[in-house]
Amino acid sequence: MKRISVDPIDVALSEDIGEGDLTTDFFVAKNQQATARIVAHERATLAGTETAAEVFRRVDSAVAITVVKNDGSEIDAGDSVIELRGQARSILRAERVALNFLQRLSGIATLTRKFVNAAGTDHVKILDTRKTTPGLRALEKAAVVAGGGANHRFGLFDMVLLKDNHLIVSAGFAAVAKAVQKFREARPNVRIEVEADALEQVRAFLQVNGIDVILLDNMKPAQIREAIALGKDKVKFEASGGVTLKNIRQIAATGVDYISIGALTHSPRAIDFSLELTPLTA
């Protein structure tokens, strides 16, 4: 199936403005100029500033935009992150969509930073997953990076990840091993990862040449340590499943290379921002 590229900013503006902004068009003078600033109302890790700025540009390229705080910055309540100057109508039309992107993406960055800090070590990389909002994957994965995390595969097309359902429908482990070898010969530069939920599977996968990463699914720290001892210097290991802010340090202490967390993109809390507008007199 051919991939279709859809611009999330255009989609968001289309669904919000539709055939026109009735309130602004009827109640705000056409030539009214204004300044505005987007303000944070809580401590957070910032992400989505360029996306929010682009929303204002798409609505009116004449609006002057200053990004005061860059993505990845730690911000406090009261901090201005974007400043604007231009037609009041344009600023008001873009306001909600810009804030929606900013609060969502900053929520992802903030949650990611909490997990990175809670892990307590630079050895392990905190990864996202494909559990993203449809159409917003690129923006949400960029927000993970702004929060200090790293990206797992972007989609089904850039990496192999053999999960339990793939293994169930395969014709036995020998067939899987043969397929791994065949794929490695055909695509030598593409990473291959396999999922294991038991140490027996880890032992079996370690006998297969060409595997780069073994994902340890829902394993306890003691099992993770044992798996790493079995495959030290042979493959990389990723822990996933049931990872929380309370247990991530214990998981990271096992020596695992990666910890992937779906909650980074499927369960962040939106960060509170508002736009404060000041009309300019002629």
What is the model's pLDDT at position 176? 86
Residue 226 annotated among the catalytic residues of the structure: no
What would the mean pLDDT of 5-19 be, rounded to a whole number? Answer: 94
Distant-in-sequence, close-in-space partners of 59: CB < 8 Å, separation ≥ 6: 13, 90, 93, 94
Q: What single letter denotes the amino acid at residue 139?
A: L
Give the whole-angstrom CA distance, residue 106 versus residue 98. 12
Alpha carbons within 13 A on the beta-carbon side of 140:
27
Give the whole-angstrom CA distance, residue 69 versus residue 44. 12
pLDDT per residue over 84-134, tens digit each?
999 999 999 999 999 999 999 999 999 999 999 999 999 999 999 999 999
pLDDT per residue over 40-98, tens digit each?
999 999 999 999 999 999 999 999 999 999 999 999 999 999 999 999 999 999 999 99
The fold for domain 8-109+269-279 equals Aldehyde Oxidoreductase; domain 3 (3.90.1170)
What is the model's pLDDT at position 4? 60
**Which residue among the candidates 71, 79, 217, 238 is catalytic per the annotation?**
217
What is the model's pLDDT at position 167? 74
Residue 178 annotated among the catalytic residues of the structure: no
CATH class entry, domain 116-266: alpha beta
**Which residue among the candidates 50, 140, 195, 238 is catalytic per the annotation?**
195
**Which residue among the candidates 163, 182, 232, 234 is catalytic per the annotation?**
163
Residue 217 annotated among the catalytic residues of the structure: yes
pLDDT per residue over 178-200, tens digit each?
899 999 999 999 999 999 999 99
The pLDDT of residue 2 is above 80: no
Contact 140, 101 (CB under 8 A): no
pLDDT per residue over 229-252, tens digit each?
999 889 999 999 999 999 999 999
The neighbour count for residue 80, using CB atoms within 10 Å, is 15
Distant-in-sequence, close-in-space partners of 170: CB < 8 Å, separation ≥ 6: 176, 179
Q: Can 8-109+269-279 and 116-266 be said to share one CATH topology?
A: no
What would the mean pLDDT of 139-168 be, rounded to a whole number? Answer: 93
Q: What share of the chain is helix, strand, coil (3-state, %, to 5)?
A: 40, 20, 40
What would the mean pLDDT of 7-34 be, rounded to a whole number? Answer: 96
What is the model's pLDDT at position 27? 97
What per-residue string of b and e applies to 117-135 under the rule 16 or more CB within 10 Å gives b? ebbeeeebbbbbbeebeee
Give the whole-angstrom CA distance, residue 107 versus residue 224. 30
pLDDT per residue over 196-220, tens digit each?
999 999 999 999 999 999 999 999 9
What is the model's pLDDT at position 232? 87
- Crossing angle of helices 137-146 and 88-119, in 10° steps, is 60
**Which residue among the candidates 96, 191, 220, 236 is catalytic per the annotation?**
96
What is the model's pLDDT at position 165? 79
| Confidence grade of residue 172 (pLDDT, cut at 50, 70, 90) | confident
**Which residue among the candidates 58, 131, 153, 249 is catalytic per the annotation?**
131
Residue 163 annotated among the catalytic residues of the structure: yes
Residue 71 annotated among the catalytic residues of the structure: no
For the chain, domain boundaries: 8-109+269-279, 116-266
The pLDDT of residue 1 is above 60: no
- Cα separations in angstroms, 211 against 128, 191, 205, 240, 270: 21, 8, 8, 18, 38
What is the model's pLDDT at position 175? 84
| Confidence grade of residue 6 (pLDDT, cut at 50, 70, 90) | confident
